[in-house]
Structure 1
């Protein structure tokens, strides 16, 4: 009989006691302990079992779970006598920054202080221990929700001191979701302030802590060493590209297929693979995200389980308000092709606003992209490594499709009517609906209060993505590719070349140039002339589209004002 699937359970003890579905990851305990690294930072995408594995480590090492070997009976780690003797023998400090999602610095630091205080309250019995001096007991009394910054930054170090003396053994420290406050700080504009606070906290906790046996931090991203880890030269960083712990987080294909067999879903292996496979950790391919798999086992149908388990707000904003280059690259990914870009595993949040390639590093770390191949361009600078990337799987593809559709929700009806007019060749209707679309949505494609010079271009490349999402059943849509003697802006190639209802379409965009043109009318005629002179239709004709069934459109715009004209150069 198949085990019960407990959705959202992150307590190892509870999963084992309630005999819920669990994929044995206890080999991670042995692998980590045998590596003997002082402080380990492990980055994995969200909902990949980081919190559950941290809970597992706590249950295994913490002396609060002494003589609780029953939690590990039958699991991989319990086969080794050496590790049976190790279970429940260390003081463990375990805390998480998962809830630190405040929109300002003051509240974020208050939240961190609360987390630290709550963990220390578990050991309040130390205040009655004769082994502490009066000063140390007073220090414990000062650890409150309202404690000052310095007290908060040194609190875990001091607790490590007291626990190591009380138990006669150095402590193990586990910090889950260390980078959640960092992402919120970047999004809400208090990055520099939080970096200063966190740097001192981490230095005290993980670097200048003589009472530390070992520590693990988990998160989604590897925040740059220069920002919060500048003093931690004892830090072992394990990212999705690293060779360590490749099967400890996420499910391998063998584990997934065994689970499908257990739940009587053996015939769905192909469907599950297409939707949820694709993650690559180090050299280990065919990793599945656990959240989607356990939900599939529970509900027995495909859906965007992992992709919609959070808002994806940061990625959405970076793409929607990013440059036309970013939108073109996403276009390529959505069309099923790969991109080749430099990747720097150290995420510098402060660079996301002006480094176009930083977004790909963040998307790779977050699980939206997978590595196809890598080329080390310079062995000295890690940031010079170039990677060939693709969307991870079908779930991610559909997530991006839905994300793009949402961009145009304010003008959904007008967008639908515009696409109909585009295909039918109704230029008058195209002008009417496109101007309504731009008025309602173009501001969503710019950052800040003052529109940038790139705003129209960002909008139109976002609109190209919208076209791709809506018309992928009927068209192969490309942009900025070579055809004839130049590079067109947009080309819609009908999949069925014999269906005259779906014509080939070529679109050229132009922003009015006041030095050369006096009106949008002149600009749009220049766009149409370029289509003709550059023979942009050559690629469509070569692929079998009848020249008489090709629509040519020039788009001229000035801010939010748009003028469209159509013409057949023949």
Structure 2
């Protein structure tokens, strides 16, 4: 039998066409969760990572559908003699634009439970009938109930740009989920999953025993493909493929454990046989971009973002932190973690891979520059200038580009005096083009604004706004602080690039390049 992507993909198709699919067996995690004790679990993962598929795997296991697990780990490691009633709630399909649509969806969920298990409701409110369903199912079947909630947060995230509506939707969902606390005596197992990680207080009030396995090395590869899984399952598909390039493009997601590939990307890559931003293009990060721009966020900082556990552990409509949003939606991932003497964790985040880094910076660049046609033309000329070791050409390239931005756009955004804005333009261009770049790269003399590497060339950039610093200060700082010494002996040609902007003219005023001998 050939194999399916992640866990069990399509139970019917396994029987009908057993030789058509591949699988990566994630069923050991089903057994592992049950053995953990407690029975209440929460998992946050980015979209298109196989969350819904794993929820369905849990559902079939608790329903004791052994025929769907032939050849999988769970076939011989599960009690198939005991079936449990399962409530499966999903907010994954469609977009709910109002409280009325949410109410209709909740009513539909309750009707599905009634039709599947023959439950007659006597109560009127959604939360009362949800409790009624759990209690009556437990009594009717003589077994505790399993509750699986998929995409629990989607109605909120669909309306995240409308704060008041998002809060109202959150409160309605909170009313539904709060039933799980009082229904504890009737529950065997609860699994809740979604993209974001709202605090227990804001959405899961009273569920103090909810075990959050989002950032847990034991469950880090529950969704996604590990390196070993990719090569053992898709060995025939990887023949004649550039494994290092595939890893560079699609691997890199980490939640303290082993890094994993995005499964959506891998399957589409095998289908199309070309590299593309498959996962990125399934969602539009418009709200995220607006947050970044509205906060004048230094984009280069995303290359190596340092945050505390209080940020990575919480997200709420009342106080949306861009760092938490970037991490939970999959645009940044955990690169490393440091624990201090008080067991507090500091997380170092970065882009997971080339797809995300290049695509996100293209989106940011589009928001920063407005003129997409000029942007694309600039990219092509820029790549050639770096490849041919002509960093001095960057002056004319970027000067023409900044000149193409209407002054009215600056007036509306008030960014002409924002040094980080100009630096972000350079950073986003280089990142979108796929160059290796390092922002705020540390030396024993301070931090470089930006360093770029390509083949045997290294360019070290310093950015200044003339109204904030004197003329010539950018090159003076590059020389005084001897940033280049960090890369001497690397075999690369090193160039110092000093870029000074005029707030008045909204463009490059001085541009100096010196090659380090």
SS at match of 1:46: coil
User: Which residue of 508, 532, 537 maps to 2:464?
Assistant: 508
Q: Aligned equivalents of 1:28 and 1:185: distance in 2?
A: 33
Q: Aligned equivalents of 2:70 and 2:51: distance in 1?
A: 22
Q: Aligned equivalents of 2:269 and 2:513: distance in 1?
A: 53
5+ unaligned residues in a row in structure 2: which ranges? Answer: 386-390
Deviations 1:92-129 (A, max 9, x none): 110111136334x42453354244234334247434xx
Show the counterpart of 1:245. 219
Q: Aligned equivalents of 2:172 and 2:151: distance in 1?
A: 17
Show the counterpart of 1:152. 126
Q: Aligned equivalents of 1:491 and 1:60: distance in 2?
A: 52
Deviations 1:467-511 (A, max 9, x none): 3236665xx7666678999877667789766xxxx998754224x
User: Which residue of 73, 80, 102 maps to 1:109?
Assistant: 102
Whether the aligned pair in 1 keeps the contact of 2:197 and 2:313 (CA below 8 Å) is: yes
User: Does 2:333 match 1:360?
Assistant: no
Deviations 1:137-172 (A, max 9, x none): 4x4xx5xxxxxxxx1233321111221222222211
Show the counterpart of 1:214. 189
Distance 1:154 1:457, change over 3 A: farther
Show the counterpart of 1:376. 339
User: Which residue of 502, 506, 510 maps to 1:562?
Assistant: 506
SS at match of 1:372: strand
Listed as ranges, the matches of 1:461-472 within 5 Å are 461-469=423-431
Q: Aligned equivalents of 1:477 and 1:25: distance in 2?
A: 36
Deviations 1:243-266 (A, max 9, x none): 443443222222210222244636
Show the counterpart of 2:306. 340
Deviations 1:195-226 (A, max 9, x none): 32222211113444532222111112321122
Distance 1:13 1:564, change over 3 A: same
User: Which residue of 71, 76, 80 maps to 2:73?
Assistant: 76
Whether the aligned pair in 2 keeps the contact of 1:404 and 1:469 (CA below 8 Å) is: no
5+ unaligned residues in a row in structure 1: which ranges? Answer: 128-135, 143-150, 444-449, 511-522
Show the counterpart of 1:528. 471
Q: CA deviation at 1:565?
A: 2.5
User: Which residue of 162, 176, 195 maps to 1:188?
Assistant: 162
User: Which residue of 402, 405, 409 maps to 1:434?
Assistant: 402
Whether the aligned pair in 2 keeps the contact of 1:41 and 1:237 (CA below 8 Å) is: yes
Distance 1:274 1:486, change over 3 A: closer
Listed as ranges, the matches of 1:291-330 within 5 Å are 291-325=264-298, 327-330=299-302
Q: Aligned equivalents of 2:322 and 2:102: distance in 1?
A: 27
Q: CA deviation at 1:35?
A: 2.1
Q: Aligned equivalents of 1:265 and 1:94: distance in 2?
A: 40
Q: Aligned equivalents of 2:50 and 2:451: distance in 1?
A: 43
Show the counterpart of 1:204. 179
Distance 1:563 1:424, change over 3 A: same
SS at match of 1:341: strand
* TM-score with structure 1 setting the length: 0.73
Show the counterpart of 1:410. 370
Taking only aligned residues, the RMSD between alpha carbons, in angstroms, comes to 4.1
Show the counterpart of 1:94. 88
Q: Aligned equivalents of 1:248 and 1:7: distance in 2?
A: 9
Whether the aligned pair in 2 keeps the contact of 1:411 and 1:440 (CA below 8 Å) is: no
Listed as ranges, the matches of 1:159-178 within 5 Å are 159-178=133-152
Q: Aligned equivalents of 1:408 and 1:236: distance in 2?
A: 41
User: Does 2:32 match 1:38?
Assistant: no
User: Does 2:95 match 1:120?
Assistant: no
User: Which residue of 254, 258, 270 maps to 2:244?
Assistant: 270
SS at match of 2:188: strand
Q: Aligned equivalents of 1:451 and 1:402: distance in 2?
A: 19
Q: CA deviation at 1:304?
A: 2.3
User: Does 2:390 match 1:396?
Assistant: no
Q: CA deviation at 1:83?
A: 1.6
Q: Which protein is bigger by CA-based radius of gyration? A: 1
Whether the aligned pair in 2 keeps the contact of 1:343 and 1:361 (CA below 8 Å) is: no
Distance 1:155 1:471, change over 3 A: same
Whether the aligned pair in 2 keeps the contact of 1:320 and 1:462 (CA below 8 Å) is: no
